[in-house]
Amino acid sequence: MESPQTNVAVKELTFSLFQRPLHPELFQIYANRHLNTEKYEAIIWVTGCTHVVSVFAADACLTEVVSPPGQMLPSRGLIERFQFSGPRTHKCTLRRGISYMTDFQVEKMSPNLYRQSHTDLERFARNRGVFVKFPKLEIGRLQPFCYIDFEARCSELHIHTFAAYPDQVTMIKTQSLFDFK
């Protein structure tokens, strides 16, 4: 399996929100989860230190993507796209009864805090979510990793992601809420 792109500047990463699903052929998928509830279905992919989350409800679909520069993404169905240049919150409501909210922050850390966060999140992931680390890409005893925690409720899906970039001793944290009326 090909190594993920982890040595990109965090400010060059892109957040995109689509009103459509995206093809898996566009991504190198390192781990995935599939969730089914009475009101929606969700597909979660870890795509390196980035992710794709697609949520389907009735005839609607919302897809959240965090991608590195140069990632081929379609323009059809694009609702929003921006780069990680500090904290941000975004909200939207689709006429089909789906509302979406996300916020994220970029956290510069000390090497000790980075290592401790890695240890804590990996331990937490033993019981829930999906944790992917990339030990071959370690820099100064710091490993890149991606952890996606999710909580599937009856009419809501909560997603928390943590993507760690050791060359910048930085972590991107996102929180997203998909709400189905």
Q: For residue range 122-146, what is the model confidence (pLDDT) as tens digits? A: 999 999 999 999 998 989 889 999 9
Position 2 in a domain:
no
Query: Which residue bears the tokens 């996102």?
Result: 174
Domain extent, residue 162, equals 10-180
- The arithmetic mean of pLDDT across residues 162-170, rounded, is 94
Is 88 contained in some domain?
Answer: yes
Distant-in-sequence contacts of 108-112, Cβ < 8 A, 24+ apart: 108/168, 108/169, 108/170, 109/169, 109/170, 109/171, 110/169, 111/140, 111/141, 111/142, 111/169
Q: pLDDT at position 97, please?
A: 75
Residue 143 lies in a domain: yes
For the cut 60, the answer to whether the pLDDT of residue 30 exceeds it is yes
In the numeric block, the tokens 């566009």 are attached to 26
User: Which residue do the tokens 């100064």 mark?
Assistant: 140
In a domain, 53, yes or no: yes
Q: What is the 3-state secondary structure (H, E, C) of 97-108?
A: CEEEEEEEEEEE
Q: Is the pLDDT of residue 1 over 60?
A: no
Rounded to 5 degrees, what are φ and ψ at 55?
-125, 130
Q: What is the mean pLDDT of the chain?
A: 91
Residue 3 domain flag: no
For the cut 70, the answer to whether the pLDDT of residue 152 exceeds it is yes
Domain count, the chain: 1
Residue 5 placed within a domain: no
Other beta carbons less than 10 A from residue 99's beta carbon: 15
On the question of pLDDT at 5 being above 80, the answer is no
In a domain, 71, yes or no: yes
In a domain, 1, yes or no: no
Given a cut of 70, whether residue 72 has pLDDT beyond it is yes
> What's the pLDDT at 2?
59
